Structure 1
Amino acid sequence: MDKRSTRLSLPEAPRNFGFYVDGKSVPAGDRELFERTSPGHGVAVTRIPKCTAADLDMAVDAARRAFDDRRWSGLNGQARAAVLLRAGALIRERAEEIAYWETLENGKPISQARAEVMGCADMYEYASGLARSLHGDSFNNLGDGMFGLVTREPVGVVGIITPWNFPFLILCERVPYILASGCTIVAKPSEVTSATTLILAEIMTEAGLPDGCMNVVTGSGSTIGQALIEHPRVDMLSFTGSTAVGRRVVEAAGKSNFKKLGLELGGKNPQIVFADADLDDAADGVAFGIGFNTGQCCVSGSRLIVERSVADKFADMVKAKFAKVRVGDPLDEATQIGAITTEAQNRVIMDYIARGQNEGARLICGGEQLEISGGQYIAPTLFGDVTQDMAIAREEIFGPVLTVMPFDTVEDAIAIANDTEYGLAASVWTKNIDKALMVTRRVQAGRFWVNTTLAGGPELPLGGFKQSGWGREAGVYGVEEYTQIKSVHIEIGKRQPWVE
């Protein structure tokens, strides 16, 4: 059988999970359960407990004890690195299981989920080296009577709130770096995609992470998530989600204990295509940039800004790419675009498509709901005749919807790209190095790609400008993000008396 046509089977029954505190799974017991239906198939696949405020307190207390008694932060870098390396190896061993449940709950293609899981293993292996290399600084220029040190210390207990679009990947862009710094964790995944976060907690314990250093509570964002944000015994919070919710996170954190925040928020990301680009490569990259993860990606290239002389031709090239993209059952290895993850998001995307047409944009292709395997699917959608004031050009749709806007000069392209409240990511396609560098320098975005898109690895940091967030994840910056700096002054020799 052609491997590309291989389709995995659905589970015979939903898989039941508990939540995870102090190194062990806690059964759901008499707690209310959330039953997750696969968005690609319309059948129940997992059951997750709806945790209570008392459950959250138990998890935070476990993380607090684990941090305060230094069972993790007190270890040397080599010991932390060994745990992270082992975790990476265990992720590789259980990659098929993780990818399977990620696909069932999220609706992304199984081939994509597998690639993401292997990339997550890379994160642990890279972070293990950072656990050994994290260091401070020294000042030997304070005179003969003084020596100065700057040390980096772990922040403490870190809360992590992750969204449903990349449940495992976004988690793994944070957890190994947080642990490398010496912090402990309380994670709250989206209630619709909790399975792989709970699997990761098991893996961390098996890898040798001391009990209490990674805890997982499950439930809704409005209850458990909000309580985690406001919890006075949590020292820092990492939140990934919309800019609107990010604002509420800032307000809530300020009202509690002024906890440090790391925020990765929304994006309305430009893909700038010049006439001198390799247009075949660019068309493929643009299609990938909006089709990857069904467009449910904060760094999706959702605004196509293309030089006017090739705008119509290039739109036709992208349309041709969309026509060949394989939209289908996420459990089919041939699928490139899977299901929309939630019913609510499906409605949002379809509402934006209707709004775009009502505002006068021209629907070039797509725009319709697809009937596939009992799930919820939307055809890749391309709009022309789009102006900068239209909602589809300004607001984050979070779906496979691409808008085309022409430009005449480099200055025009930069101005259109920057005409947004967001600044998360951007791409430029050109064979002219001067233009590429100019655009890279002047477009306001935390991640930038030249003649590619959505590329990356554990070495380079992630994060946004403007209303796309605060702080950086991954790379050495991702470890430093979860530390605080202490200045130490050491007097040498006899003190000069203040009182004679």
Structure 2
Amino acid sequence: MDQNSTRLSPPAEPRDFGFYVDGKSVPAGERDVFLRNSPGHGCPVTRIPKCTAADLDRAVDAARAAFEDRRWSGLNGQARAAVLLRAGALIRERADEIAYWETLENGKPISQARAEVGGCADMFEYASGLARSLHGDSFNNLGDGMFGLVTREPVGVVGLITPWNFPFLILCERVPYILASGCTIVAKPSEVTSATTLILAGILTEAGLPDGCMNVVTGSGATIGQALLDHPRVDMLSFTGSTAVGRRVVEASGRSNFKKLGLELGGKNPQIVFADADLEDAADGVAFGMAFNTGQCCVSGSRLIVERAVADDVTQMVRDKLARAVVGDPLDEATQIGAITTDAQNSTILGYIEKGKAEGARLVCGGEPVDLGQGQFIAPTVFADVTPEMAIAREEIFGPVLTVLPFDTVDEAITIANDTEYGLAASVWTKNIDKALTVTRRVQAGRFWVNTTLAGGPELPLGGFKQSGWGREAGIYGVEEYTQVKSVHIEIGKRSPWIA
């Protein structure tokens, strides 16, 4: 990174990372490494170790030892809060560095990456308060001879598997809450976007987190990820990814030790626009919701469900918005839509675009790669004349592709929105409070936005209905997710004898 230039550029040589166990970075040594090419530039940017099963065992042992000797869970809330606050401050200090490596490995625009890093610091700062406020309950209504307590205790060692689309953000929507609960962590980031997870591990050690409480083991999902799922000394697993892989996570939990699971899975999320909405705002929100992070977003608003009377107008307005969106070099501050993160995903998106054409949908805009001379980019794509049974209307594409489906009544809009196996997120655009509340109540989604989209912060929980997942992350719910509830009965006075 050229510190003397206002325009960032890829590094001259890829950066070497180790994996992270027991408070220390472990060099790759004789292990094979994964060489990551920047999807926005086509050049190598990082080298990441391909860890072994023995490396994973070492990390789990470190996390287990740290949990069982209570070096973290045994601290009071103030002490845990101080570490999380310090970590948040260090994230802010190193925001430019974190955003740079996030952009290089992922392909998202640098301005977006920088904003996400700021939000991640917020997560740590908010979770620090939860470390102090997490509590149980008491029951003084059991009669004079009994007093009841309900305590929340940390689950134990948490395995954390994170995806490549938001490597740092999704990590930080979980790690501070897991730590606030008193648990220890073994994280497995995607092999294509491991850098910022490893950077965070070092930050946590610098912030005062005891050794062994945050470990990072790098490698493929098929090897290290699967071994983490199956590991008998891991008490809970948090997985973010596709619904198909989520099913395998559930199966693996049953085969091993019935791990507690937290799952954030796929989505085919509706953006419902009524004729009485501020259509300019709605069109801008729809464009943002489908193109943010190049559509590689589990809560992407990939279905525009629009009142028929304004469907053509709104579709044209979205098209005009997208025509002005800047697709370009992810390291350019002006870029709004960056690169497609992996070769496989690039092929998947282009395949769905061809499928949409073959199914008879009308291509309104986009539909082709964008040639910038390097990297892989796809123009934001809108399909009209879409029917609910088409694959592009039902399956998660995970790219900048929007399908337009018209409706005539509120009930029809709700029916179309719920006609999916998913239930992760939804938006509604209307100035009528009755419509907004009706849709918010009846559409099945774990996150909902009214006259906005993809908004939020650390206070409100994240998670899905139906096949979009189990459990909740962030907020007080995100700390409680990583605890177990224990009932304690305390008898007062002398026992009434069972045997006289």
Q: In structure 1, what is the equivalent of residue 101 of structure 2?
A: 101
Summarize the alignment of residues 188-337 of structure 1 with structure 2, pairs less than 5 Å apart: 188-337=188-337
Return closer, same or farther for 1:218/1:363 CA change in 2, 3 Å cut-off. Answer: same
8 Å contact 1:6–1:332 — kept in the other structure?
no
8 Å contact 1:6–1:333 — kept in the other structure?
no
Inter-partner Cα distance in structure 2 for 1:267 and 1:79: 38
**Superposed CA offset, 1:224-281 (max 9, x none):** 0000011000000000000000000000011000000000000000000000000000
Q: In structure 2, what is the equivalent of residue 142 of structure 1?
A: 142
Q: In structure 2, what is the equivalent of residue 359 of structure 1?
A: 359
Aligned residue-pair number: 496
Residue 451 (structure 1) shift: 0.1
Q: Under a length normalisation based on structure 2, what TM-score does the superposition of the two structures give?
A: 0.99
Q: Under a length normalisation based on structure 1, what TM-score does the superposition of the two structures give?
A: 0.99
Q: Indicate the percent of aligned positions where both proteins have the same amino acid.
A: 86
Inter-partner Cα distance in structure 1 for 2:484 and 2:266: 27
Inter-partner Cα distance in structure 2 for 1:168 and 1:190: 11
Q: In structure 2, what is the equivalent of residue 132 of structure 1?
A: 132
Residue 7 (structure 1) shift: 2.7
Q: In structure 1, what is the equivalent of residue 388 of structure 2?
A: 388
- In the alignment, is residue 450 of structure 1 matched against residue 450 of structure 2? yes
Letter in 1 for 2:67: F
Give secondary structure in 2 for the equivalent of 1:187: strand
Give secondary structure in 2 for the equivalent of 1:7: coil
Residue 10 (structure 1) shift: 1.2
Q: In structure 2, what is the equivalent of residue 46 of structure 1?
A: 46
Q: In structure 1, what is the equivalent of residue 413 of structure 2?
A: 413
Letter in 1 for 2:244: A
Return closer, same or farther for 1:373/1:205 CA change in 2, 3 Å cut-off. Answer: farther
8 Å contact 1:265–1:469 — kept in the other structure?
yes
- In the alignment, is residue 37 of structure 1 matched against residue 10 of structure 2? no
CA RMSD of aligned residues (A): 0.7
Inter-partner Cα distance in structure 1 for 2:18 and 2:83: 24
Inter-partner Cα distance in structure 1 for 2:365 and 2:180: 47
Inter-partner Cα distance in structure 2 for 1:9 and 1:142: 67
Inter-partner Cα distance in structure 2 for 1:107 and 1:6: 19
Inter-partner Cα distance in structure 1 for 2:124 and 2:18: 25
Inter-partner Cα distance in structure 1 for 2:424 and 2:174: 17
Structure 2: 5+ residue stretches without partners: none
Structure 1: 5+ residue stretches without partners: none
**Superposed CA offset, 1:329-383 (max 9, x none):** 0000000000000000000000000000000000000001011141000000000
8 Å contact 1:160–1:237 — kept in the other structure?
yes
Give secondary structure in 1 for the equivalent of 2:171: helix
**Superposed CA offset, 1:84-108 (max 9, x none):** 0000000000000000000000000
Inter-partner Cα distance in structure 2 for 1:253 and 1:228: 10
Inter-partner Cα distance in structure 2 for 1:8 and 1:26: 29
Residue 6 (structure 1) shift: 4.9
Give secondary structure in 1 for the equivalent of 2:453: coil
Return closer, same or farther for 1:431/1:6 CA change in 2, 3 Å cut-off. Answer: farther
Give secondary structure in 1 for the equivalent of 2:357: helix
Q: In structure 1, what is the equivalent of residue 462 of structure 2?
A: 462
8 Å contact 1:15–1:46 — kept in the other structure?
yes
Inter-partner Cα distance in structure 1 for 2:10 and 2:419: 45
Letter in 2 for 1:341: T
Q: In structure 2, what is the equivalent of residue 123 of structure 1?
A: 123
Inter-partner Cα distance in structure 1 for 2:453 and 2:18: 38
Inter-partner Cα distance in structure 1 for 2:125 and 2:464: 25
Letter in 2 for 1:367: G
Inter-partner Cα distance in structure 2 for 1:409 and 1:483: 44
Q: In structure 2, what is the equivalent of residue 68 of structure 1?
A: 68
Q: In structure 1, what is the equivalent of residue 435 of structure 2?
A: 435
- In the alignment, is residue 422 of structure 1 matched against residue 419 of structure 2? no
Give secondary structure in 2 for the equivalent of 1:326: coil
Inter-partner Cα distance in structure 1 for 2:450 and 2:178: 30
Inter-partner Cα distance in structure 2 for 1:330 and 1:389: 35
Give secondary structure in 2 for the equivalent of 1:448: strand
Inter-partner Cα distance in structure 2 for 1:269 and 1:481: 24
Residue 9 (structure 1) shift: 1.4
Inter-partner Cα distance in structure 1 for 2:276 and 2:199: 47
Letter in 2 for 1:140: N
Letter in 1 for 2:382: L
Give secondary structure in 2 for the equivalent of 1:484: strand
Letter in 1 for 2:80: R
Inter-partner Cα distance in structure 1 for 2:344 and 2:259: 31
Inter-partner Cα distance in structure 2 for 1:373 and 1:113: 23
8 Å contact 1:6–1:334 — kept in the other structure?
no
Inter-partner Cα distance in structure 2 for 1:313 and 1:200: 46
8 Å contact 1:462–1:472 — kept in the other structure?
yes
Inter-partner Cα distance in structure 2 for 1:252 and 1:151: 29
Q: In structure 2, what is the equivalent of residue 402 of structure 1?
A: 402
Inter-partner Cα distance in structure 1 for 2:387 and 2:457: 35
Give secondary structure in 2 for the equivalent of 1:275: coil
Q: In structure 1, what is the equivalent of residue 77 of structure 2?
A: 77
**Superposed CA offset, 1:100-135 (max 9, x none):** 000000000000000000000000000000000000
Inter-partner Cα distance in structure 2 for 1:164 and 1:385: 32
